[in-house]
Structure 1
Amino acid sequence: MAGHRLIMSNYKELLHCNNEGGIILAPLKWKIIGILIAVFGFLIGFQNPANAAPLDFGTTRIYGARQIDTAIKVSQAGWQHADTVLLANCDNFPDALVAAPLSHQLDAPILLTPVQGVDPYVMQEIKRLGAKKVILLGGVKALSNQVETDLENAGFPAPERIWGQDQFETAQKVAERVGSKGQVILANGDQFPDALAISAYAGETETPILLTEAKTMPDSTKQELDKLQQNGDLNTIVVGGEAVISSSTLTDLKNVQRIAGNDRYETAADVYDFAQNDLPATTTYVVTGENFPDALAAGALAAKQRAEIVMTQKTTLPGPTYSVLSRPTESPYSMVIVGGTAVISDQVTGMLEGTIQPPSLLAGVTIVVDPGHGGPDTGAIGPAGTYEKNNTLAVGLDLENDLRSAGARVIMTRTTDVSPATGTYSELSDLQARTKIANDAQADMFICLHNDSFSNPSASGTTTYYSSASPVADQSLTLAKNIQSELVAAINLNDRGVKDAPFYVIKNTKMPAVLIEIGFISNPDEEKLLGSPGFQNKAAMGIYDGILKYKGY
């Protein structure tokens, strides 16, 4: 028996296809669900679908002719006065990036200067701020003794210097100065994007940033982590995937939370999601993800304003960035681009303002992802007690990320364990709510996710359904064939083919629609797979590949 639902025209009988394609009435899983509904008997609140909208932001730009000048402009945008100024090397990424927490703690802007001395314009800015103290970040290889001499000759007291033998030890010394509140951030010290992406969060929460290498943890970093763990429970936020920080270097850490995407832009988008509660400002800063140092000082200003940071390429908004900015309930009202047009082009400005469409694979495509069941409706229950509703939601969330990364506008019918129906729960109201979400959005595709179930535990495999009663049956059939072929290739389960069934949600939606039975939860082996995060991710990617194939890629 299938894990999806069909309501007849009189809405009084629930029908399901068995594993041979026949029709059976009132299968066991629906009897169980009926009991659960009777027991709970409560109102299920409506969950607004997490949808996206075309970008339409106001934009401004902070920039100078050099990275030094851009940092000065950042300082002028955020500080009328500052007792303390942090000074870092204009070409040495890590020292400025790890400074955001100290900047926030001291309410001190970050300025940049060459190794050989204080740039005249930087000196002018320090004086404008009325600074009484300058803290140098890095040793004499980063900021020479001449920097100290220049400051003293200008009438400032001898500057404090926080430094180590390399960027890793300097980060450790900055972390010691900031102190820890039971949390630390770990980023790659040889590349700048991940530390930059989380710098605003690190600054606002005053969480120290430590640096490491991809395959080896430097002694200075390890010593600081050991010390912090000895002081009590420590939560370590690792920014970046295995390629930038290997899990083999983290074995001595007890509480590790990794924020990672498939590339630097997706990681930055994931950081954006992670930090949104701590950074609620209606402004977001747009910085380069390429090899330019213009954005080094941006984290300090964003932290001061409790604003988020997103990352872009020079000439286009990457899919993950476009996607994370396209969610109306989370979107900022204005965007501040940090860097000149040589770093972030006017074409990106146009994409942010909505006058230029980014060339993402699925840009402009609206897709409704419908994880089946939810709330009082568990869906099918496997022999080990697993719930279909949990499996479908996990795959749905993975699929949402994949689609957003390609620039699609994604609408989820649910993102937690609730039904999208309003008022008193019923099977019909639940199905109607899902259908209404898709039709109201005038979506381009509707993807419904389920697990199959049958009385014979040996039943197995993957099936994709379309409805010949749909107003766009031919397109639905084509979509179903593409998804079925790519999904089976991705998860390697028995190919049960594409089938026609008048299931409510794919019959009554006005766009190409499919209902996917990923595997049989009633089969003990497939039940384990369906509950596995790795398998769920593969399933989502297979469906995603099928959608791309349907779109001609």
Structure 2
Amino acid sequence: MKKIVISIIASLTLILILPLFAQASPLAYPIERLAGEDRVETAIDISNKGWQSANAVILCEYSDYADSIASTPFAVSLNAPILLTEGNSLDTRVIGELRRLNPQRVILLGGTGVLKPSIEKDLMKLGLTSDQIERIGGKDRYETSVLLAQRLSSSSLILANGDDFPDALSAASYAGIQQIPVVLTSNTLPGSVIDYYQKTKPQHLIVIGGEGVIPSENLIKNKFVVETRLGGQDRYETNAKVVSSMQSSYTSDNLFLASGLTFPDAVAGTVLASKYKAPLLLSEKNDIPPSVYALMRGHMKVEPPVQNQDTSLKTGKITANGGLRLRDTPSTTGSILLTIPHGETITISGQENQWYKTTYQSNTGWVSADYVKIASANTADLTLNGNVFILGGAGVISTQAQKIIEGKASSTYPDNLRDFPSLPSGINKPEPPSRGDNNTTPPSVPEDSKTYDPSTEVLIDPFNGYPAAALKGKTILVDPGHGGPDPGSIGPTQTYEKDNTLAIALELKKILEQAGATVILTRSNDVSLAKDYSEVNDLQARVNLANSSNADLLISIHNDAFTNPEPNGTSTFYDSRNPKSNESMHLANSIQTAFTNSIKTQNRGVKESRLYVLANTNMPAVLIETAFITNPYEEARLQNPTFHKNVAAVIFHGIYKYYKDPIPQS
């Protein structure tokens, strides 16, 4: 018995002397904090991270979340950062950021009770005219969210409780990426929300939160048809469920982390997260809630390296975006000696609490440890897991929580200390697809995964077997998708959909004109059609041009995309709401058949979908997803000028077939 007791004591002693961070399955992420001295500076730091300039900026009151939490999709549509200011006057730091961004449009969110008219006067002093200053604000937060929703066009709607902020923020980056409006409600549906739903009749309604925040009884009573409800036991579990459910929309390895207890940093950060196509996670101040921790662990690709037990400090790198202030004492009240630039490596000579002592340019002082990444002897590439961007300073997400994310400290939650499925210690990054600049023979692999060889693309003669002047008297509007501030989807080697669609459209114009048609391009260079760019304005400008042109057909050219790099092939879409829907379907079938017969892409079929341009134009209209820019083989193919010519040729063949063959009676 004595031996057993001694054995137990020895085992407990061994457990107690182990390093705290030696848990079974720790997290291991590189960290970058986007933070300032307060919420105003944090929003500015986020703006600095994401925008060199901005055509539009959204301005919110820094202590009132109500008007701002539904603004992400609208802000993303404008590619506009969100800045925060006090309600009575424009913060001088915000004035400096506005001068840097040089916007042509500033939108104030909230009525004059939230952002006073004096702010508009401050903006005019910066050179903005009254026409460049806009205010969006309803009588309450619910009506304001409806006004924001009306600026977007979507067949989907997200409904979240607006009496608190977490649920709306959980869905914000997804809503921004997919351009789905977020409308706020309470336990009882406001009249403005009911009116909006009845007028728009969205096909897909996603409710964020459980019965306690949005009761089904109230929804059923007002004939709201819920397609999906995502809710958990608390805000963090709801957040994890929302992010997990919408995972396919996130193409970035990066994660954004914000406080689940305070709103301002998250509000400003959601637009940047959407821009990165990354999710926003919510956390407690000092630890990571188990539901969020499990999601972060599942997101990792490699196991954390073995920790080095030598914790002596040597050198570190400055991670603060705008540089880090060197102070004469280890306190935020210390006098500022100078600012050490972002990315600079410093030598650390001492530590006092969360402050490091260092000497820079002959000045010895103290810097906040929160914004210094200590150099490590580990060589494992943790960037494979993606970065975690922490929104806000240590006052909202503590240094302890940061260490847990980095794998340098243990969580206090037992659920976080369990064994998760093991991961490899490293993976090989895929080689970029060949661009035809080498003659190496690819290894023997399945055909669909071979490196693309441009020499195999044989030029198609568009007029072989087709009569001269085959389209004489026809007017065809060709719409190369995206453009200007909207790059469209982005390939693995950072190629842009907007460039591919324009290249194909220009080749199609040549062929159609040679066939006798009059061709109108929605754009002939890298621009947006909208004077004040937003996605809705851009789409509406395309519709206006099409309907005013008296075109016989509309051909919209796009690239497909998916989070998984494997999908490939071609799809052609029509919209049954188009007044010429039967003709549109016939045109789609004609082009899809010609495409897959000659180009030899996988036939993904003709599909009906709700697409704004196709629905609102008055001529037969189709949208062609020519190939997957996210598939390395097809991305490389989309860069080949011969492929551009061949795609243009088969679209011409499909158009000719549409006119030559009558519409099937069925």
Counterpart position of 2:170 = 197
- Correspondence list, 1:66-77, <5 A: 66-77=38-49
Which of residues 69, 81, 88 in structure 2 aligns to 1:97? Answer: 69
Which of residues 211, 215, 218 in structure 2 aligns to 1:249? Answer: 218
Aligned residues of 1:216 and 1:249 also touching (Cα < 8 A): yes
Q: In the TM superposition, what whole-angstrom CA distance separates every residue of 1:448-468 from its partner, at most 9, and x where no partner exists?
A: xxxxxxxxxxxxxxxxxxxxx
Counterpart position of 2:127 = 155
- Correspondence list, 1:132-143, <5 A: 132-143=104-115
CA distance in 2, matches of 1:242, 1:183: 21
Q: In the TM superposition, what whole-angstrom CA distance separates every residue of 1:398-453 from its partner, at most 9, and x where no partner exists?
A: xxxxxxxxxxx369xxxxxxxxxxxxxxxxxxxxxxxxxxxxxxxxxxxxxxxxxx
TM-aligned CA distance change 1:332 to 1:266, over 3 Å: farther
Matched to 1:170, the amino acid is T
Tell me the percent identity: 35
Counterpart position of 2:391 = 338
Q: Structure 2: give runs of 5+ residues left out of the alignment.
A: 1-23, 302-383, 423-666
TM-aligned CA distance change 1:260 to 1:301, over 3 Å: same
Aligned residues of 2:67 and 2:137 also touching (Cα < 8 A): no
Aligned residues of 2:206 and 2:229 also touching (Cα < 8 A): yes
Q: In the TM superposition, what whole-angstrom CA distance separates every residue of 1:485-505 from its partner, at most 9, and x where no partner exists?
A: xxxxxxxxxxxxxxxxxxxxx
Give, in angstroms, the shift of residue 95 of structure 1. 2.0
CA distance in 2, matches of 1:365, 1:316: 15
Aligned residues of 2:165 and 2:263 also touching (Cα < 8 A): no
Counterpart position of 1:282 = 253
Aligned residues of 2:25 and 2:418 also touching (Cα < 8 A): no
CA distance in 2, matches of 1:364, 1:319: 10
Counterpart position of 1:174 = 148
SS at match of 2:27: coil
Counterpart position of 1:117 = 89
- Measured on the aligned residues, the alpha-carbon RMSD in Å equals 1.6
Counterpart position of 2:406 = 353
Counterpart position of 1:547 = none
CA distance in 1, matches of 2:32, 2:72: 22
Aligned residues of 1:187 and 1:194 also touching (Cα < 8 A): yes
Counterpart position of 1:240 = 209
Aligned residues of 2:256 and 2:273 also touching (Cα < 8 A): yes
Residue 304 (1) aligns with residue 275 (2):
yes
SS at match of 1:254: coil
CA distance in 1, matches of 2:79, 2:128: 19
Counterpart position of 1:319 = 290
TM-aligned CA distance change 1:332 to 1:209, over 3 Å: farther
Counterpart position of 1:535 = none
- Correspondence list, 1:259-298, <5 A: 259-298=230-269
CA distance in 2, matches of 1:183, 1:94: 22
Q: In the TM superposition, what whole-angstrom CA distance separates every residue of 1:30-51 from its partner, at most 9, and x where no partner exists?
A: xxxxxxxxxxxxxxxxxxxxxx
Give, in angstroms, the shift of residue 90 of structure 1. 0.9
CA distance in 1, matches of 2:415, 2:275: 35
Matched to 1:287, the amino acid is A
Matched to 1:281, the amino acid is S
SS at match of 2:67: helix
TM-aligned CA distance change 1:310 to 1:328, over 3 Å: closer
SS at match of 2:93: helix
Give, in angstroms, the shift of residue 254 of structure 1. 1.9
CA distance in 2, matches of 1:223, 1:242: 22
Residue 57 (1) aligns with residue 32 (2):
no
Aligned residues of 2:65 and 2:263 also touching (Cα < 8 A): no
- Correspondence list, 1:498-537, <5 A: none
Give, in angstroms, the shift of residue 120 of structure 1. 1.0
CA distance in 1, matches of 2:273, 2:403: 22
CA distance in 2, matches of 1:112, 1:329: 33
Counterpart position of 2:197 = 225
Aligned residues of 1:104 and 1:300 also touching (Cα < 8 A): yes
CA distance in 2, matches of 1:95, 1:143: 11
SS at match of 2:88: coil
CA distance in 2, matches of 1:363, 1:210: 34
Aligned residues of 1:53 and 1:327 also touching (Cα < 8 A): no
Aligned residues of 2:111 and 2:136 also touching (Cα < 8 A): yes
Matched to 1:197, the amino acid is S
TM-aligned CA distance change 1:201 to 1:243, over 3 Å: same
Give, in angstroms, the shift of residue 88 of structure 1. 1.1
Aligned residues of 1:96 and 1:297 also touching (Cα < 8 A): no
CA distance in 1, matches of 2:86, 2:102: 22
- Correspondence list, 1:455-494, <5 A: none
Counterpart position of 1:164 = 138
Return 243-252 or 75-84, whichever deviates more: 243-252
Q: Structure 1: give runs of 5+ residues left out of the alignment.
A: 1-51, 367-408, 412-553
Q: In the TM superposition, what whole-angstrom CA distance separates every residue of 1:36-79 from its partner, at most 9, and x where no partner exists?
A: xxxxxxxxxxxxxxxx9531111110111111111111111000
CA distance in 2, matches of 1:242, 1:279: 27
SS at match of 2:60: strand
SS at match of 2:268: helix
TM-aligned CA distance change 1:77 to 1:254, over 3 Å: same
Give, in angstroms, the shift of residue 272 of structure 1. 1.4
Q: TM-score normalized by structure 2?
A: 0.46
- Correspondence list, 1:70-85, <5 A: 70-85=42-57
Counterpart position of 2:58 = 86
Aligned residues of 1:164 and 1:173 also touching (Cα < 8 A): yes
SS at match of 1:156: coil
TM-aligned CA distance change 1:85 to 1:98, over 3 Å: same
- Correspondence list, 1:373-452, <5 A: 409=420
Aligned residues of 2:207 and 2:226 also touching (Cα < 8 A): no
Q: In the TM superposition, what whole-angstrom CA distance separates every residue of 1:382-403 from its partner, at most 9, and x where no partner exists?
A: xxxxxxxxxxxxxxxxxxxxxx
Give, in angstroms, the shift of residue 328 of structure 1. 4.6
CA distance in 2, matches of 1:94, 1:311: 18
CA distance in 2, matches of 1:155, 1:167: 30
CA distance in 1, matches of 2:391, 2:300: 24
SS at match of 2:183: strand
CA distance in 2, matches of 1:136, 1:78: 20
CA distance in 2, matches of 1:260, 1:101: 21
SS at match of 1:95: coil
Aligned residues of 2:207 and 2:228 also touching (Cα < 8 A): yes
SS at match of 1:238: strand
CA distance in 1, matches of 2:76, 2:416: 37
Aligned residues of 1:186 and 1:211 also touching (Cα < 8 A): yes
Give, in angstroms, the shift of residue 332 of structure 1. 4.4
Matched to 2:180, the amino acid is T
Aligned residues of 1:234 and 1:255 also touching (Cα < 8 A): no
Matched to 1:124, the amino acid is G
Q: In the TM superposition, what whole-angstrom CA distance separates every residue of 1:308-342 from its partner, at most 9, and x where no partner exists?
A: 11110001111111111111567941101000101
Higher relative contact order, structure no. (Cα contacts within 8 Å, ≥ 6 residues apart): 1
Aligned residues of 1:228 and 1:234 also touching (Cα < 8 A): no
